[in-house]
């Protein structure tokens, strides 16, 4: 009997160890692509397959990050300020207008042509108009960011509202829900996974537009940091700004996914199944 209990405990410990190894492997696996990219970067730098003056080594780039940590932190905060303001405006406008249009067949038909015309319009092409309206600065950058981020949120909100199951609406009507109360308690929760996906797309798009506008317009942030480094022929410093921008995008996306996992657990479960 004691022997059987001992063997059972050993088997259970073995299974626990295997589960722990699988978890560790699962956490380390995403780093594989990063390691391969760094090795390829190092090879291209030291082999002179690419002009070494145009492609510093990873070590030189990381040294530039450390030596410019203060300036990079200030630039990152500037980029985050414009990004956050643009995303906030785009989310409020996109969800509100997308929901209202999705609930009305007349409004949907009336806006279809306008959406098809405006959605492909690149935000950078609007910089001269934005400068005339808002001048150079935070308002101009945030305005262009909100314009670019609005479309994926609006389109997903409209589609999500379209796809709300009629059974939910019929049940809500039977309970006496109408107007804004119906939208708040039934339509928005049912369309939430689609809206969340649109915001996720907008988060990355908004960061790209923010840095691009800063780069072209010289309005501060990481874009201007990269521009000044390029003009000063400080290649490693320029790459440092690019790497920090990439890390910022990864961090924003990871934080958003964690938040969505808490707020909409059924969405993440549906994606995994």
Query: 140 and 18 in one domain?
Result: no
- Is the model's pLDDT at 265 over the cut of 70? no
Tell which wins on pLDDT, 185 or 144.
144
| Rounded distance between C-alpha atoms, residue 200 and residue 264, angstroms | 13
Pairs from 108-113 (Cβ < 8 Å, separation ≥ 24)? 108/158, 108/162
Supply φ then ψ for residue 15, to 5 degrees. Answer: -65, -40
Give the model confidence (pLDDT) of 127-159 as tens digits.
888 888 888 888 999 999 999 999 999 999 999
Query: Domain of 113?
Result: 58-272
Beta-carbon neighbour count of residue 16 at 10 Å?
Answer: 10
C-alpha distances out from residue 147 to 36, 110, 118, Å? 36, 20, 10
Query: 265 and 210 in one domain?
Result: yes
Does the pTM of the predicted model rise above 0.75?
A: yes
Query: 132 and 214 in one domain?
Result: yes
In a domain, 52, yes or no: no
CA 261 to chain centre: 15
Tell which wins on pLDDT, 105 or 170.
105
Going by pLDDT thresholds of 50, 70 and 90, the confidence category of residue 252 is very high
Query: 14 and 95 in one domain?
Result: no
Query: 149 and 30 in one domain?
Result: no
Give the model confidence (pLDDT) of 31-88 as tens digits.
777 788 878 878 878 777 777 677 888 899 999 999 999 999 999 999 999 999 999 9
In a domain, 35, yes or no: yes
| Vertex 130: Cα angle to 125 and 132 (nearest 5) | 120
Query: 81 and 124 in one domain?
Result: yes
- Is the model's pLDDT at 244 over the cut of 90? yes
CB distance 196 to 264 below 8 Å: yes
CB distance 214 to 138 below 8 Å: no
Query: 65 and 35 in one domain?
Result: no
- Is the model's pLDDT at 203 over the cut of 70? yes
Beta-carbon neighbour count of residue 43 at 10 Å?
Answer: 11
In a domain, 199, yes or no: yes
In a domain, 135, yes or no: yes
In a domain, 49, yes or no: no
CB distance 188 to 99 below 8 Å: yes
Query: 118 and 31 in one domain?
Result: no
* pLDDT value of position 272: 45
Query: 153 and 253 in one domain?
Result: yes
In a domain, 97, yes or no: yes
Q: What is the CATH number of the domain that holds 180?
A: 1.10.3720.10
What is the domain count for the chain? Answer: 2
Tell which wins on pLDDT, 15 or 234.
234
Query: 79 and 23 in one domain?
Result: no
């Amino acid at each position: 009997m004691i022997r059987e209990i001992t063997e059972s405990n050993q088997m259970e410990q073995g299974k626990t160890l295997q589960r722990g190894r699988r978890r560790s492997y699962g956490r380390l696996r995403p780093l594989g692509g990063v390691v391969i990219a760094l090795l390829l970067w190092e090879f291209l730098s030291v082999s002179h397959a690419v002009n070494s003056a145009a492609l510093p080594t990873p070590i030189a780039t990381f040294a530039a990050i450390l030596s410019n940590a203060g300036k990079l932190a200030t630039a990152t905060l500037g980029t985050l300020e414009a990004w956050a303001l643009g995303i906030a405006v785009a989310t409020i406008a996109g969800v509100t207008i997308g929901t209202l249009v999705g609930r009305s067949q007349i409004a949907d038909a009336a806006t279809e042509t306008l959406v098809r015309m405006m959605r492909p319009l690149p935000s950078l092409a609007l910089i001269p108009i934005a400068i005339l309206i808002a001048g150079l600065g935070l308002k101009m950058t945030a305005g262009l960011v909100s314009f670019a981020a609005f479309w994926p949120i609006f389109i997903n909100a409209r589609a999500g509202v379209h796809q709300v199951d009629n059974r939910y609406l019929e049940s809500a009507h039977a309970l006496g829900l109408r107007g804004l109360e119906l939208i708040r308690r039934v339509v928005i929760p049912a369309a939430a996974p689609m809206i969340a996906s649109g915001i996720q797309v907008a988060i990355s798009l908004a960061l790209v537009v923010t840095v691009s506008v800063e780069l072209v317009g010289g309005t501060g942030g990481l874009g201007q940091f990269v521009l000044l480094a390029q003009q000063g022929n400080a290649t490693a410093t320029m790459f440092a700004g690019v790497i920090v921008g990439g890390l910022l995008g990864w961090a924003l996306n990871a934080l958003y996914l964690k938040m969505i996992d808490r707020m909409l657990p059924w969405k993440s479960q549906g994606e995994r199944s």
